[in-house]
Amino acid sequence: MFNDRVETGTLDLSELAQHWQLLDAAYDAVRHVTAKRRPGLLHARMIDEGQVAGHRVYMAAQRYLMIARDNHQALVALLQSPHGLSVSAPWNLLRGTFEASFYAAWVLDPEESLERRRRALRLEIADEREQDLYYDDLLKVFGEDLEADPAAAKQDFDQAARDVDTTYRAEAQELGLTYPPPGPKVLHGLAESVMRYRDGTRCARVQSGLAWVVRAGARSRRRLSARVGQVLAPNRGKAASRRC
């Protein structure tokens, strides 16, 4: 049996384990605050959710934090398993953690409610486009294996897409965005934010992380990637459900 694995030597996780515990505690704290919100307390989320597209800010942030958390837990399990550290698998999980975390930070970063809501809408429209392309490719490749009547399913899906497009277009107009709006420039936006309010050491660390994601292929084509929370189930004879 061939073994192409490159051995990486002994792995010491002692320091990493402490950082993982801090991440777990931070994530649990976020979930606790979200679940125990006081209805009478005025805060940014209350202001956002009372306005156009405000709910999308926190839907997006929670979705991306959950994706980052899932990839992180998978990485921990991999490193603690007999497989351990190898030259490629852990980095695939780490990239997903980085990207999802950056998206969550990017949508929540602006101090103004209007900009947070604009970013959330831009993110969701971009995700919707990717989902549409993914479904189109599935129909082209699998056809009747995916849907009993591919032509009818495509027609239903396209009608649902037009209905969602009407909602997005109206929200973009109210938020002062062109339609379709520009795609999210997450890496550039976060780099500016880090430079604005972080000290130089932390700046260098985060900028190094941003650069690493670009090198890892953050700009690569993702049309056929099964993204967490957006995987289309093969429901025969039914158009895929929309988020709106």
Confidence of residue 44 (pLDDT cuts 50, 70, 90): confident
Q: Which residue has the higher pLDDT, 139 or 45?
A: 45
pLDDT above 90 as % of the chain: 30
Is pLDDT of 29 > 80?
A: yes
Is pLDDT of 88 > 80?
A: yes
Q: Which residue has the higher pLDDT, 158 or 100?
A: 100
Q: What is the torsional sign of CA 134, 139, 141, 142?
A: positive
Element (H, E) at 73: helix 54-80
Q: What local confidence, expressed as pLDDT, does residue 59 receive?
A: 93
Q: Which residue has the higher pLDDT, 145 or 128?
A: 128
Confidence of residue 244 (pLDDT cuts 50, 70, 90): very low
Residue 50's Cβ-side half-sphere holds a number of Cα atoms within 13 Å equal to 7
Rounded to an integer, what distance in angstroms lies between the CA atom of residue 202 and that of residue 217? 23
- Average confidence (pLDDT) over 219-238: 32
pLDDT digit string, tens, across residues 112-121:
999 999 999 9
Confidence of residue 123 (pLDDT cuts 50, 70, 90): very high
Which DSSP state fits 7? P
Q: Would you kindly state where each structural domain of the chain is located, as residue ranges?
A: 14-216
- Average confidence (pLDDT) over 209-228: 36
Could you give the C-alpha distances from 47 to 44, 54, 95, 121, in angstroms and in order? Answer: 5, 8, 33, 16
Picking from 166, 169, 164, 55, the residue whose alpha carbon sits closest to that of residue 113 is 55
Confidence of residue 228 (pLDDT cuts 50, 70, 90): very low
